[in-house]
Structure 1
């Protein structure tokens, strides 16, 4: 008997050592993931810090804007100014990089929140002592009521730091354009200014005359001769960015006054321009960097990095990330508070009937053992039948 007891004790010690080794391996695995997330967060922080400093030192600020007093600097920095197509391409590339960085930060934050809300074996035993239960293997708010306050505070820091990443990160870089205001002038073949009435008549307007003369003289640049379709394509846009005033050369004729009724099939007379002259202007599309939003993103990125590093350096003892961890832990070291409840359903635990199953099983065992005319084997089979029915139900 003594040798058998020693053998059982040795087997127990070997099982305990194996469990400790396995638990250490699992702890190392999740710590490696957490450290990887913290390192990625730090790398993004360094990149954000470098870009923010570069924008403050090197980029041109928008001065004397509409919303600022003369001489006051705005938070907007001009990253690029020029062609609208190039600005759109740069915007797509930069926002793709921003979304990659944001996904890295949000994934690291989510993993950190999972680690903080995961119960340890000690948390589960405390919950069982108060006839409570905890969620294992899912990201849950319920466990926060039964974990330490420091873990709750860190969890709140992570979730609050994730909100600006969702709402503001893509707003750090944005596009703007300069919309051109243009006028249309009608002239005849001799470039005399005309006005439209029922036909075209000479117009004596000194201001418009001066503009047309300067356009013809090339004071604003070299004029482009467009066809009707080209003119429509260039000017039928929501925001004009690359064309200025338009000269429409038409055949002049006097005004015609007609009275009477329209005959069937009649339509208004249209007088098409012979040609369309205008001059292209330099596009002024901008790619802007908002310094204030970048500082906010930098601050929440720093907070997230500090929290993740703290969690990685001070890991929880024996965390139960998945059900397999809990099964292994309770097989190696039994929980006296929940003993005898292996067949309890989730509904029984959630409704507070934590000990009803033990009472029911004890009463069944007592009835079976006290039944006359049955031997031990039949009593055992009867008990097994009761257990089986309970499990299947």
Structure 2
């Protein structure tokens, strides 16, 4: 560690460093046409004089956006924890502070909601309370905005919780040393329940509490605020074209029924008629042929039929009745025979429906014909009908059945629109429509808010308890482990430099220290081999089963729509929209949803698919993380680059992610967000409140779940594409045949026994390969020691593009080409050279061959105990010094 190496002892290498050039000294400008590229020496001279100043991390950049006082406190805490080798605790504290900010906002927003709701709207249902009542567009926009805010806050809380869970699950150097002493291994850089066997119970409990407290966030956070569609009941009247609304006739006995049916007395009604909007027939149909109407009231149909009574209004029907939640709310348009402009009356068993089609193909017993409809006509009925009752006095004698009879007991208002079929049909020429104010609602659920706040508090307590964990030097990434093992090699894995996760998994005997050498396997493995067959199969099968179940549900939903008379053409399904409430796409859990369901149960039911998607995402993310972690580890055999660690020192890279690079994590997060949104639009919470014709809120309301076939279809397509992508990635091959350590602590430590001569390997760019020949030291009772004599290096890093030597061509064939893995640093291409005599590039002969032979002869001079020769044994390791490509024909220790 003392004196710097001479230029002849270091490897000169071009290094593209786009950021913070000033902190990396010893930079030399290259040629004039490449002034933007600089180089420095990879030796002791490139080591930072002050690792604390040169290291940058996510936390150091995060605090720069905070107030100065708070940033200074965090900076002091960082220095304190760094001195105690507990830098990870700072990240946990920042997560806890972020969760505290979310808790503060949740409490403030809940208090604001309560103060807005109860004073204005009075005592309401405890499960949900009104925040706003008015225009549907306003309530919908507020709901979408608050949903976005809740998603942001929920994401912050879940990310902070996941980071703490990763810290709890990640082993420390001490944990690994204890496990390795028992010939057990732990997972590094990936979430694993396996580690629970070797960590203390306190951390396991904290991890489980953080996990369980996340479930309500997935299930309920999006349901804290929601909108309810307000629909208004309306009456339909029929008048002749020459009816004089300015001089209404005296209806006499019909006056009482008029007020009951229209919810206003005659004088008020006739005074409001001049304000009615005139609609032509087509616009009238389009306006009132809607499932739930919010801005329209009483409708007057005007006819030119000469048989119509020009001296009185006729009662037609009632629309938006609460009993019509399971079918169309405009059935009155469909109940006259036989002519309709766009609506067809379809009598199916137990259902009455309307379809918006000018023509329909009807098939009976194999005979099909196309029926097109003409003029729109409706039937009217009198305002009141006689009420018939039995005279029970006749039942006093023995012949009551013979003498029983009915008699007129008075009159009742005609509210049953089905009876309109018995009256003659009259054509409609235009309509008069009453415009009313919308009464949609924005509601919040106080119980759900309280549950979310309590879960938030539990998470914060667990986070602060995690921050007080006394452990030091925990490994959040594989780079953390390599850095530690290079600084202090693990003696339990010495002499097993080709150890892989598969070998370790076979049992403790597979990685006992042994003098038996091993050969490097020539076959390059596929990415799926890093995951393991069982987990890969479980993840793919789970995702495929989820897609299959979704496809079955899509088919059942479409068939249900078809049975209700809805067209299932893609264009018509698209018109139904994403998450749009339609009467034909409401799932009935009982005969009357307003009596068998509540807000919280339906909100939980509507969010159950979100939990299933989260489980699939967890499996998918874990598999992708494992493959990319193995690919990053494998890249060190072909590229020299700094270690990616949680807290950078020297020339190390700071990690802005735990395992997934941005080129993968960002698209994955986008796809996951879109998938969650599509699922929320496919199966969603529905609440429809009913106002009577007078504009008063009734006790009738619809609380159920709705579905959207087109949103479900898009979700299935997206899920299928994601499964295809992960399958394709699983069949890719790694760039080299380097042993797969993946996240296995034993295999990683076995690859970190560098040759002596430099104690700062971890602080510099490193590479994996053959370093030097091990020999048996007679003074250490046969223990394997590492020679300081290096193999001839076949890699020199130069900025000049020249032809590669033939020896390097075979090396390139062995390593393979291309892997698509993201590197935060710059990749450096290997070229042939000698580390002792300068560049091997030459247009004449092969000046490197003789040098290589001389170095091999040096290795052949070493003898072990009892005269046994170890020159044929090599050794592979991560190192900042020269390395060469391992041979598949040579034995390694």
TM-score range, shorter chain: 0.7 to 0.9
Cα 1:159–1:220 shift into 2, 3 Å? farther
Q: For 1:346 and 1:126, how far apart are their aligned partners in 2?
A: 19
Q: Which 5+ residue runs of structure 1 have no aligned equivalent?
A: 1-17, 65-70, 194-201, 256-264
Q: Deviations over 1:328-363 (max 9, x none)?
A: 32333343433333332322211013345615249x
Q: Does 1:358 align with 2:416?
A: no
Q: Match of 1:170?
A: 222
Q: Deviations over 1:127-153 (max 9, x none)?
A: 112211111111222112111111111
Partner SS state of residue 248, structure 1: strand
Q: For 1:221 and 1:141, how far apart are their aligned partners in 2?
A: 74
Q: Deviations over 1:24-45 (max 9, x none)?
A: 3895653333222211110110
Q: Match of 2:869?
A: 379
Cα 1:391–1:122 shift into 2, 3 Å? farther
1:376 Cα deviation from its structure 2 partner: 4.6
Q: For 1:391 and 1:37, how far apart are their aligned partners in 2?
A: 48
Which has the larger displacement, 18-27 or 75-84?
18-27
Cα 1:110–1:315 shift into 2, 3 Å? farther
Name the one with the larger helix percent: 1
Q: Match of 2:208?
A: 156
Q: Match of 1:224?
A: 277
> Which residue of 462, 473, 477 maps to 1:307?
462
Residues 296, 435 of structure 2: 8 Å contact kept = yes
Q: Deviations over 1:86-107 (max 9, x none)?
A: 1111111111111100110111
1:244 Cα deviation from its structure 2 partner: 1.2
Q: Match of 2:430?
A: 275
Q: For 1:316 and 1:181, how far apart are their aligned partners in 2?
A: 67
Partner SS state of residue 168, structure 1: helix
Residues 131, 354 of structure 1: 8 Å contact kept = no
Partner SS state of residue 499, structure 2: coil
Q: Match of 2:131?
A: 79
- Root-mean-square deviation over aligned CA pairs: 4.0
1:224 Cα deviation from its structure 2 partner: 2.0
> Which residue of 480, 487, 491 maps to 1:325?
480
1:49 Cα deviation from its structure 2 partner: 1.2
Q: Match of 1:101?
A: 153
Cα 1:267–1:222 shift into 2, 3 Å? closer
Partner SS state of residue 292, structure 2: coil
Residues 242, 283 of structure 1: 8 Å contact kept = yes
> Which residue of 499, 503, 508 maps to 1:348?
503
Which has the larger displacement, 87-96 or 181-190?
181-190
Name the one with the larger strand percent: 2
Q: Does 1:131 align with 2:287?
A: no
Q: Which has the higher contact order (CA 8 A, sep 6+)?
A: 1
Q: Match of 1:198?
A: none
1:190 Cα deviation from its structure 2 partner: 4.0
Residues 295, 435 of structure 2: 8 Å contact kept = yes
> What TM-score do you get using the length of structure 2 for normalisation?
0.35
Q: For 1:383 and 1:248, how far apart are their aligned partners in 2?
A: 99
Q: For 1:101 and 1:75, how far apart are their aligned partners in 2?
A: 22
Residues 62, 74 of structure 1: 8 Å contact kept = no
Aligned residues: 346
1:229 Cα deviation from its structure 2 partner: 3.3
Q: Match of 2:303?
A: 250
Q: Does 1:32 align with 2:57?
A: no
1:238 Cα deviation from its structure 2 partner: 1.6
Q: For 1:391 and 1:227, how far apart are their aligned partners in 2?
A: 92
Cα 1:219–1:335 shift into 2, 3 Å? same
1:168 Cα deviation from its structure 2 partner: 0.6
Q: For 1:390 and 1:78, how far apart are their aligned partners in 2?
A: 77
Which has the larger displacement, 323-332 or 26-35?
26-35
Q: Match of 2:102?
A: 44
1:19 Cα deviation from its structure 2 partner: 10
Residues 87, 286 of structure 1: 8 Å contact kept = yes
Q: Which 5+ residue runs of structure 2 have no aligned equivalent?
A: 1-49, 56-80, 246-250, 309-370, 378-426, 519-773, 777-781, 783-859, 877-885
Residues 19, 332 of structure 1: 8 Å contact kept = no
Which has the larger displacement, 178-187 or 91-100?
178-187
Cα 1:47–1:384 shift into 2, 3 Å? closer
Residues 189, 249 of structure 1: 8 Å contact kept = yes
Cα 1:150–1:275 shift into 2, 3 Å? same
> Which residue of 188, 194, 199 maps to 1:142?
194
Q: Deviations over 1:180-231 (max 9, x none)?
A: 12222111134389xxxxxxxx9x9655655494565125893222222332
Which has the larger displacement, 340-349 or 157-166?
340-349
Residues 63, 74 of structure 1: 8 Å contact kept = no
Q: For 1:385 and 1:109, how far apart are their aligned partners in 2?
A: 42
